[in-house]
Structure 1
Amino acid sequence: MEATNQTIISEFLLLGLTDDPQLQSLIFNLFLAMYLVTILGNLLIILAVSSDFRLHTPMYFFFSNLSFTDICLSTTIIPKMLVNIQAQDQSITYTECLSQVYFVLLCTVLENFLLAVMAYDRFVAICHPLRYRVIMSPCLCVLLVLGSVFISIVDALVHTLMLLCLSFCEDLEIPHFFCELAPLIKLACSDTLINNILVYFVVTVFAGVPVFGIIFSYIRIVSSILRMPSSEGRHKAFSTCGSHLSVVSLFYGTGFGVYISAAVTDSTRKTAVASVMYSVVTQMLNPFIYSLRNRDMKEALRKLLGRTASFL
């Protein structure tokens, strides 16, 4: 079949999570509820950190950036899905699809680097407590976030520009509930060797380096904690890392689960269902993990909600 030039493509079709029309209403209500909880939870975290002076520390600065990234990722994916379900229309324009690919990549890579930066912050706090404020200066914190944003923008831009070079044929059905890079590459009629090489290279570098950094940081953290003479000191040190470890486990565990699911099953629809975990559920649970396991955060949220209630 002769390839159709990509410039005349007007739209793709997002097949979603199921073909059963009776489940569409349930999926709509479920995802709407998860989206609202995600926005509200992460927005409360950002407001609590900005309004409470005690939380003006590197750890909470990075976490508020993580919350903002979670809001952006959820907003990139869920509203379009809800609109399609409500309108009973599976289409997404070519421009919207590429834009969705770009922002999903940007937010995912940024979250990956922010988790690594937060691990470095915990490493400095526990292994070099006396030099913590000197090392983790406000300037360094801002530079770490800006560097993560820059790398994420470049990565997402390169992949999106490479997609523009591909030609697509008549089969424009994406077996997913949002436009993701891998399914789009599979739909192309033209040669995708360079695209696939680029994907594997970027995953190896931009996922492997942060993961190695997190693992290295926690090896040093655990080693330092075990040398502490006081059991109370060890417990306090472990508790400061508990929330971050939970978020890291959730993010990488669900992402790894999606790739395992894609490897062991030929059903792209099942892979799409598995993608809900890392693209929707993780962003919803992150605020609860940090607020429920952190006394300072719970106190800040209590004060924020109290001021909001008195204002209303």
Structure 2
Amino acid sequence: MPEWLVEAGIGETRFAEIAESRIRAARILPDSILPAGSVVDARLIAVAPQPLARLDDGQEVLLTRRPGGISEGARFPLQITRPALPGPEPWKRALGSHFLGERIGGGVDAIELPFPPAGKDRLADLGWDDLIEEASSGIVRFAGGELRLAWTPAMTVIDVDGRLPAADLAVAGARAAGEAILRLDLQGSIVIDLPTTSGKAPRQAAADALDAAMVGESFERTAVNGFGLLQVVRPRRRPSLLELALDPPAFAARALLRLAATQGHGRATLAAHPAVIAVIEKNDPWLATLSRQRGGEITLRADPSLAISGGHVS
């Protein structure tokens, strides 16, 4: 049976669903993002054209409807129904509703992993670092081909390419795309561009392969059309790993902190691109936590010759 693991790291909490000794699905929740289900105090600051609330930290939350009996300027308990999503559009702000005593679902029962790991690093052994590389690069390789993932405000696009015959590549690519959707927590509208094949049977085989990869998950899809396009729609509940990676310095900074916490003890120097170092410097509690976990002083060294994801620990 699949099981969920959770690791409360520095700056983020990581979730991984394990099946057949591999990561089947994953989530990352940065500490800066209020997850769905959180209940916080808020002030109603506007009722039109759409109700809007503001939290004590200044974050604005769009409300699905005006809270009953709450006047503009009054405080009320608010429940987050969808966290804020990356992107400049104002409608990507967090969504919420008046909390009336019934919490929404959406959480998972998970086995909590010690952090730093007590000995064996289970997430790393299961391929967590490869997963982070897939999110950062947008490239997912599979036997006979690869996926190239691109995020847009409207949808996530997955392009399938490779050296297999078209019908075989369509099936393998659809299967790999379904697995990547779960592994990278892709949500909303997702369009998969498969190789063009002749006849209905190869297109149906590709659709069946995607269904098998995503069995048990909540999603809707279209049929594969004559141009090889297949659309998948999943509920939008939080930023995907691909979206989090759209802020490369912050994404790489949290990954570097995990690396530092899991490799060795005592004093250490973190070398990284200046943009990554700047993110860490803005978050003093991160360094304090890392220093406590390693039991030694942490020094930062900015190195412009390093790639954003090329940080290392010495």
* TM-score normalized by the length of structure 2: 0.21
Higher relative contact order (CA 8 A, sep 6+): 1
Structure showing the higher helix proportion among its residues? 1
* TM-score normalized by the length of structure 1: 0.21
